[in-house]
Amino acid sequence: MTKSEELVTIGDCNICFAGEGDEESVVVDCGGRSIEIQQLLSSCNRFYDMSSSSFSSLTTSSSIGNLVFSSRNQFISVKVSNFVTFCAGFQLYGLNSRTHVPLIENLLNLISLVVDCELAKGMRPVYLDQVLYWLRNDGSIVAYNTVIEKAHLLQTESPNSKALFCAAPGLTLLTATEEVICVYALETTTKWVLVRRISNKVVLDQKKEDDVVVMESGYLRRKVSSFDRGYQGLNAILTAETSTYIIHMDLSAKPLPFSDHQSWFSTTLTSVITDRKPKIIYAYTDSVHGFSAVLTNLELQRLKHKPGYVSFTKDLPVKLHTTFSPQFIGLNSTSGTWPVSNYGDGTVIGIIDTGIWPDSPSFHDDGVGSVPAKWKGACEFNSSSLCNKKLIGARVFNKGLFANNPDLRETKIGQYSSPYDTIGHGTHVAAIAAGNHVKNASYFSYAQGTASGIAPHAHIAIYKAAWEEGIYSSDVIAAIDQAIRDGVDVISLSLGLSFEDDDDGDGFGLENDPIAVAAFAAIQKGVFVVASGGNDGPYYWSLINGAPWIMTVGAGTIGRQFQGTLTFGNRVSFNFPSLFPGDFPSVQFPVTYIESGSVENKTLANRIVVCKENLNIGSKLHQIKSTGAATVVLITDKLLEEQDTIKFQFPVAFISSRHRETIESYASGNENNVTAKLEFRKTVIGTKPAPEVGTYSSRGPFTSFPQILKPDILAPGTLILSAWPPVKPVSGNRERPLFSGFNLLTGTSMAAPHVAGVAALIKQVHPNWSPSAIKSAIMTTALTLDNPLAVGAGHVSTNRVLNPGLIYDTTPQDFINFICHEAKQSRKLINIITRSNLSDVCKKPSPYLNYPSIIAYFTSDQNGPKIFQRTLTNVGEAKISYSVRVKGLKGLNVVVEPKRLVFSEKNEKLSYTVRLESPRALQENVVYGLVSWIDEDEANFEVSCSVVATSLVQES
């Protein structure tokens, strides 16, 4: 073999480099066959194919300096300084010899061996996260000639890295992603070791095979050539971990030969995937412009260089935010909003959720008008007769679920083809928004009465995109996409991204929130979008779904409690929270008082046991139940609410410890004469305070867009009665499940459809109003409450929403102008939501957004005066004057100019400014008040704008 300056061995092949410059030569020796090629390294247009043991000309290549992009199943060697890089796949990476910095950016899914021949004696190189490592034969790791440690696995030093790689003797790194394949060749047997990191735990799977097993999308797919033949077919083995991505494209870049966007997307995808059949999961047309697909990191990098590519987002998981309420927000059948709006007749509410139970009496179509002529939806039940004039559409979206869980497709596909609701959430939400009237509805006699949705004559279209096995953004935005095309007027979302999936911990930027992006497309088409704000309260900065074009809803109480009553033989009684669903005789039982200690091995059959417990409540109840006791009176310091009692299947009276002395003095008396009775299933109306924000309801500001006050509005969300699949247990246990056609649920999931129903009522009366006009009418007529960061403009009220007098109207372009002005908002967001170049859409950036609320930050670095401009549109009488009134905002200097607005005609627009100045640091973290405009004639209209001044700073 020719004497060389540098020597590299790959598999059975020795590759030698000799000479310099134009005289440089390469000798390849594979099993006795030698080939010498002059000027290979300087020309960079040849490759060595291990399978044919020969050099060939590249069929696809483009040189960038010393770097070469090549087609798959080919190997390139390029000399950079005194480093030689051998690469597989579509991209070739090089090193700078002085700094070890990559010569190209975004080194993801690196599949390279980087060799310095002087250092490489007795070592094998690995290049990860911009650091060059050397694996020595004894298993130790060397970085920059420094031994780090001896280990079987090493996580790279980069703080944001998720990469693991092999560091055991004889193990060869194949991929550098979250899933790593290490191949160990021993004689003629190949053992592969899959290294997976799951929740910061490393799992090793080992398997001995004559052939190497290919990993594809995390699953075993096929076998390839044995490794002991010298890295033959290396790319076939290097099937890196895949993920599902949502790809945003610029439709204006579509080449003319393509007749439609889908064929262009398909061709683009095919050009970056060469070792498997490319498949588009969804092609989006209305919600976003782009598609979703399963890609490796390497394929994603290729895609970024394709014409029309804008950006990507990962297919992030989404979670759900899980009778009397119509009356509570001011609706009645004799006068006002319901009869004026004809109960929402003719409007269509699209519910994106877990499906629907079409057989529920809440979805009968008595009194509902004909299906609108504009409707383009479909009924995807096995029988179209399950749809009617109430439920006019039902579709299924499961491709994202299958892409992220491939095993489901083959084992349970039949369960994923029907819009039937097997969870219950979607049925409950749909009936809140637009369920028809159902008499004698109740949850085991609690909340008994006539159940009704907010818009009982509106049409419902259900889009099933949420599943027990998971909810994915790709399915949700596909549902939004279809809902827009079908012709819905309102979209209701009781779900959203989870902070648990926020790797950086600083919230999701709007550009990375596909639901926010899709919602913007919806409002561009005139569709009102309402979404739940999340159940992560009571903490500030916990709110989600806070994009300014979405109506974000918090949840509160509705002045109703579910109770039981404990009455002792001396006629002293106590009420307690309870939703115990079972039958219990309302008769006197003998009482046994147990002061402390265990009750095990005692016989207390048919007795009421009185005891104290603050710590192990569940354990104590289990002990007492085992004695045969009829029920328990538990004195406790814990503050329990009705929903806390649902999990206890044993009848229990939870009594506050403030009544301890009264109860103990009677219950510890003569045991033979002490009696008591328990009564359940009591519903008490009119409890105070109400409405009141739920502790669980997420608070603003919204991390991704703090310039806008969020949430927008509060709506009923605590223990809301609504329809439920009768085959899905509402309570009980596995041995004795309890079923009901109605259920009581709590969450902002329940609040959002209330507002969706109100929007449908407004849309019925004002079909030409924009989504922003509808939002303004709801916000400016709300019942104002404390702390807008929890309740927004206040609690929704329908008394004046159809005739608000003035509105704050905003066009989609107004949102874009505001985003263009905000330095914190990325170009990526603007490109995604506008599908246009920055220069085309940002011609008129504006520091003002005509929003029906105001938030001002007074922090150490933002302590100067704050000025806000707003514009009001007269939707009331032609000639009318309004005067301003300021409430609250203690400690602030507030100046509103002008102080009077005189409108001479309908639809006229007049503007005003609000100047806020804090002469000193705010006395509290949150100071709030109102700027209200009141008509001067009869004071029939009060148009309120919530104002917040805060020193809150988002934690980094």
Q: List active site positions.
A: 353, 425, 749
Answer positive or negative: Cα dihedral of 441, 447, 450, 452: negative
Beta strands in 288-366 (DSSP E): 290-296, 309-314, 318-320, 348-353
Rounded Cα distance, 592 and 649, in Å: 21
Q: Are 102 and 24 in contact (CB under 8 A)?
A: no
Rounded Cα distance, 526 and 491, in Å: 11
Q: Are 447 and 562 in contact (CB under 8 A)?
A: yes
Q: Which residues contact 571 (CB under 8 A, 6 or more apart)?
A: none
Which residue's structure tokens are 């003095």? 665
What single letter denotes the amino acid at residue 747? G
> Would you state the structure tokens that stand for residue 243, as one six-digit string?
């993920």
In degrees, rounded to 5, the angle at the alpha carbon of residue 479 between the alpha carbons of residues 801 and 842 is 70
> Would you state the structure tokens that stand for residue 836, as one six-digit string?
């246009």
Answer positive or negative: Cα dihedral of 506, 509, 510, 516: negative
The Cα-based distances of 78 to 193, 230, 733 in angstroms read: 30, 20, 67
In a 10 Å sphere around its CB, with 0-12 CB exposed, 13-18 middle and 19+ buried, how is residue 109 labelled? buried
Rounded Cα distance, 794 and 248, in Å: 37
Q: Are 103 and 72 in contact (CB under 8 A)?
A: no
Q: Please name which of 889, 900, 895, 878 lies closest in space to residue 949, comparing C-alpha atoms.
A: 889
Rounded Cα distance, 379 and 385, in Å: 9
In a 10 Å sphere around its CB, with 0-12 CB exposed, 13-18 middle and 19+ buried, how is residue 258 labelled? middle
Peptide bond into 716 cis (omega under 30): no
In a 10 Å sphere around its CB, with 0-12 CB exposed, 13-18 middle and 19+ buried, how is residue 359 labelled? middle
Q: Which residues contact 70 (CB under 8 A, 6 or more apart)?
A: 47, 58, 60, 61, 76, 87, 90, 92
Rounded Cα distance, 533 and 493, in Å: 10
End-to-end CA distance of the chain: give it in Å, rounded.
60
Per DSSP, 720 falls in state: E
Q: Please name which of 942, 945, 946, 947 lies closest in space to residue 800, comparing C-alpha atoms.
A: 942
Q: Please name which of 956, 947, 955, 932 lies closest in space to residue 857, comparing C-alpha atoms.
A: 947
Q: What are phi and psi of 290, to 5 degrees?
A: 155, -155
Neighbours of 255 (CB within 10 A): 10
Per DSSP, 924 falls in state: S
Query: Quick check: helix, strand or coil at residue 253?
Result: helix
Query: Quick check: helix, strand or coil at residue 7?
Result: strand
What single letter denotes the amino acid at residue 335? S
Q: What are phi and psi of 467, to 5 degrees?
A: -130, 160
